[in-house]
Amino acid sequence: MPDKYIPEIKGILRNNIIEVPQVIREASGIIVFGRRIKSLIFSTDVAIIRNTNADAVIAVYPFTPQPVIAEAILNVSEVPVFCGVGGGITTGKRAIRIARHVEFQGAIGVVVNAPTPNELIKAMREEIDIPIVVTVVSEKEDFRGRIEAGASIFNVSGAANTPNIVRRIREEFPHVPIIATGGPSDETIRETIKAGANAITYTPPTTGEIFGKIMDKYRTTF
């Protein structure tokens, strides 16, 4: 049977968007509150977030989580947002308060860092109803303990070792939802999906890199 024809509509002014790799569509996806999510763009740049075809945003950054940042991203994004709420340096009641705040602001889920203790995950689970996404960086993680504490989804970020971590989780927990980094190519993304990832995070080029290409084009045109 031939592939279904999918009509596509693009504007003139909004034709230049960041498209996630097509291979990500091979993932099964994760259904969260009725939305099927296969691709997540890893960014806090509101211009990029506004101009992408990703199914969702994973907004995690290497600073103390601040509600004003989450609000800005949530106000701009046209797709669901998973907001980082700490768990490493920012922990305890502060992380829980931030999680509660972003839930009220409309986040579809919260993301906690790898060092987050299970006690904090359990306390956060008692305070919020949206999914808690727990970041995983090693196959030595206590996955069962995380799930029992209240983890809803694992977010695997193990660089080149990511597929191995995903396989390790999938062997023990066939049905737990897994988001994972896909790596730099279609081949690495496909390997991660085959290992068992349900959804893939994509790191886009920076606005500076995108602007550089546009400026190069301008320079050769004029």
pLDDT in tens, 45-80: 999 999 999 999 999 999 999 999 999 999 999 999
pLDDT tens digits for range 173-195: 999 999 999 999 999 999 999 99
Q: Would you list the domain boundaries of the chain?
A: 22-221
Each residue of 191-211: pLDDT tens digit? Answer: 999 999 999 999 999 888 887
- State yes or no: pLDDT of 86 exceeds 50: yes
pLDDT of residue 71: 96
Please state which CATH number belongs to domain 22-221.
Answer: 3.20.20.60
When pLDDT is cut at 50, 70 and 90, the band that residue 13 belongs to is: low
Question: What pLDDT sits at residue 1?
Answer: 46
CA 139 to chain centre: 19
DSSP 162-201: HHHHHHHHHHH-TTS-EEEE--SSHHHHHHHHHHT-SEEE
182-189: list long-range contacts, CB under 8 Å, 24+ apart.
182/21, 182/24, 186/21, 186/23, 188/163, 189/21, 189/23, 189/24
